[in-house]
Amino acid sequence: MVGGNVNINLFNFQEEAVLNLIDLTTGNHKQVVTVKAPTGSGKTIILINYIDEYLSNVNKNTAFIWLCPGKGDLEEQSRQKMIKFAPTRNAQNLFDALSNGFTAESTTFINWELVTKTGNKAISDGEKKNLYDRIAEAHRLNIDFVIVIDEEHSNNTAKARDVIDAFAAKHIIRMSATAIENKRYEFYEIDEIDVINAGLITKAIYVNEGINDGEEISNDYDHLLDLADKKRKAISQRYNELGKNIRPLVLIQFPNGKPETITAVENKLAQMGYTYDNGMVSKWMSEDKRDLPENLTANDGIPVFLLMKQAISTGWDCPRAKILVKLREGMNEQFEIQTIGRIRRMPEAKHYDDDLLDFCYVYTYDETWKNGLLANVDKAYETRRLFLKDKCKTFTLEKQLRDKDFSSLGEREVLNKIYDYFTKKYQFGTDKKQNIAILKNAGYIVGDVIVGETIKGKYVKTETTGTDNVERITTTRLINTHNHGIYLLHSTDELKKCIGLTTAKTKLILERLFRKGINQTKKICNFNTNEFYAFIINNEKKLKEDFNEVTADMVRQPGFKIFTKTAPFHIPVQDFLKYDPSVKREVEYISNAYKDYTSGFNTSLIRSRSEQLFEQYCEKKEDIDWVYKNGDSGQQYFSIVYLDGFNKQWLFYADYIVKKKDGSIWIIETKGGESKGKSNNIDKQIGNKFNAFKDYATQKEIKWGFVRDLDNQLYINNTEFSLDLADEHWVPLENEF
């Protein structure tokens, strides 16, 4: 039994986790320890025991910092647990620390919002000693810091990094259900099977129980909610038979929570007898928290349906939640597997030897499943702040900005371009039936039903749900223009992003091309209303690919002039750049515009192959004064305006600005090169960007070029665009630069 001051008995896997954490934070180990702890494994209890054990047996002269995510009160929940289970330990909040300091044997629970939000008094100068003063005070007293990052945090920002760096912690423990192993950190994983065997979480997950292959569905929402409620009632009855006062909860997750989707679900629930008024329904969304009772998470809580957008905030525990219904507003949405963690806990932390109660249930028509891993904390790179060299501070250049009053092509011109593209690519004629046959042969789905595919099965481990031993089932839906109107709207919204028109105008173009009854000479097919709905919804992805091809068209009227706005550009005096701490044989790049820029900022983890080669090339050239790596987006970076095939303005951020010792300025854009005879370029707008870049360079009388790699050699083109590196306009970089 570890943690003598803690009033709780640990399961074997929890005790083992505590002992491993002690081992990894003593002796010659890496600073950062990443712990993968499945939902329901008792992360808070493990950490409380670890802190007690560390202070009792390793180093009393330590202050622990416990960082919690989210806008909620997770840090206070965790602090109260420590007070309950380790009452002899000093558990304080940030404001206690600002008053009393970070004393030895203290644990300070801090919400990220308090220290990263702009203008927060916690880190501003004033009469009260601020956060950095208190940290410095503890350092003078030779107090060690250990930081615990509980759950994932989305504050991978400069300010968050500054706060972590200020503590100069001896160790940083990052604990999450979705952590991934990273070779530069220590790593420990709690096996989900051990958590299951302890009875803390369900034995398995059933996905889409009751949905059959080839099933015809009239309404997605109705069907899924009916299945979920039937399952909820069965579980509730079984609890009653066992004399348990437990009310199973159904979580209904919306992808974006469009009002019409929510209203449709609310109406369906009302028809089933569940409303806000009778207390059976609650809503938890950032902009709308409705009828959330204090006992929502209690086993005998009244609501049986909870409407939520995306995943509920990290750390939310509701053991009575047994069923998750994931709705969608379009056909191509992904299911985030970690959301299942919200329904895996057992309400009494034990199994009942009854599959109905010992399983949890997911109902969804999502076709793809994504294991959304911890994005920010455990990326393989760090973010470091660098400062500009003095000689670069006076450099200025004119950058271009979009003119919002600039008029792109009108609806008729866009229609004509799309029609001409489709006709040329697919060789359409005047025979509409023949055109339909051509579309089918090209992979388009044609008919009057929506064709879907989803999965079905039983899974033990959360992270393998939907990915291992998948049984794929197909479903069809007869078009109902009322029910499927939101699907059509979603698909139209996706397509409008390609062509830069409003949703209404985009829909009208689609109707003129493909729908019967809309007078238009340039028509490809005469689909009736149901066929039209099905065609757009089923083929959203394929239509998007074709529309993007149209925007890549480089045809421009002779003498056409782009009207842009301009502004002066200065290289940022400080910037945060991605850094690879695992770099081998690190060397400083003297040519870079920033101080302390090294080869650690130019590895394959961070840079493309052509970028790596270009920076290495510049570092070897004696005639280079400095090299600046431009940002990818943002007002502080250098930008050029280009037009797509519909004359819509976009911003293009060239990769490098180089000043040579003879005073000449070069602007370089790197692109994917070629390997094994295939192009690695993924930018469909490369031709339009090339022409806009050429116009800008000519106007400003500066040197420029597109640079790409082939067989570890760099080639440049600043004359006439060609994607083929074998073209004569691509010449060895050293010939020009």
Q: CATH assignment of 382-403+562-736, given 3.30.1360, 1.10.3470, 3.40.1350, 3.30.1600?
A: 3.40.1350
**pLDDT score of 102:** 96
Name every residue whose Cβ is closer than 8 Å to that of residue 341 and which is 6 or more positions away in sequence.
38, 39, 40, 177, 462
CA atoms of 630 and 654, how far apart (whole Å): 7
Q: What is the 3-state secondary structure (H, E, C) of 673-709?
A: EEECCEECCCCCCHHHHHHHHHHHHHHHCCEEEEEEE
The answer to which of 122-131, 464-473, 572-581 has the lowest mean pLDDT is: 122-131
* pLDDT (tens digit per residue) in 359-409: 999 999 988 776 654 344 445 677 788 999 999 999 999 999 988 777 677
CA atoms of 411 and 414, how far apart (whole Å): 5
pLDDT at 126 over 80: no
Confirm if 589 and 553 have CB atoms less than 8 A apart.
no
Per-chain mean pLDDT for the chain: 88
pLDDT at 268 over 90: yes
Residue in 381, 450, 453, 685 with CA at minimum distance from that of residue 552 = 685
Most confident of 169-183, 277-291, 355-369: 355-369
**pLDDT score of 124:** 60
Average pLDDT score over residue span 204-220? 90
Band (122; pLDDT cuts 50, 70, 90): low
**pLDDT score of 1:** 45
pLDDT at 119 over 70: no
- Domain range annotation of the chain: 12-197, 204-370, 382-403+562-736, 411-449+478-551
Task: Output the CA–CA distances (angstroms, integers) from residue 416 to 245, 372, 407, in the order listed.
Answer: 66, 41, 17
Count CB-CB contacts under 10 A for residue 226.
15
Band (482; pLDDT cuts 50, 70, 90): confident
Could you tell me which residue, 399 or 71, shows the higher pLDDT?
399
Band (179; pLDDT cuts 50, 70, 90): confident
**pLDDT score of 85:** 93
pLDDT at 580 over 90: no
Query: To 10 degrees, what angle do helices 485-499 and 259-271 make?
Result: 170
Give yes or no on whether 12-197 and 204-370 have one common fold: yes
**pLDDT score of 501:** 87
Name every residue whose Cβ is closer than 8 Å to that of residue 542 and which is 6 or more positions away in sequence.
443, 444
Q: What letter represents residue 668's amino acid?
A: I
- Cite the DSSP H helix spans in 333-401: 355-358
Look up the CATH number of domain 204-370.
3.40.50.300
Band (677; pLDDT cuts 50, 70, 90): confident
* Ramachandran area for residue 712 (φ above 0: left; ψ -120 to 50: alpha; else beta): left
CA atoms of 206 and 248, how far apart (whole Å): 16
**pLDDT score of 681:** 86
Residue in 171, 144, 78, 154 with CA at minimum distance from that of residue 112 = 154
Could you tell me which residue, 44 or 291, shows the higher pLDDT?
44
* pLDDT (tens digit per residue) in 352-369: 999 999 999 999 998 877
Average pLDDT score over residue span 250-257? 85
Indicate the class that CATH gives domain 12-197. Answer: alpha beta
pLDDT at 153 over 70: no
Could you tell me which residue, 499 or 708, shows the higher pLDDT?
708
Confirm if 149 and 1 have CB atoms less than 8 A apart.
no
**pLDDT score of 715:** 95
pLDDT at 463 over 50: yes
Most confident of 153-157, 623-627, 632-636: 623-627
CA atoms of 706 and 280, how far apart (whole Å): 62
DSSP secondary structure of 189-202: E--HHHHHHTTSB-
Confirm if 506 and 552 have CB atoms less than 8 A apart.
no
Average pLDDT score over residue span 496-518? 90
Could you tell me which residue, 426 or 214, shows the higher pLDDT?
426
Share of the chain above pLDDT 70, in %: 91
**pLDDT score of 556:** 57
* pLDDT (tens digit per residue) in 415-459: 999 999 999 999 998 899 999 999 999 999 999 999 988 889 999
Work out the angle at residue 149's Cα, subtended by the Cα atoms of residues 143 and 150, and round it to the nearest 5 degrees: 130
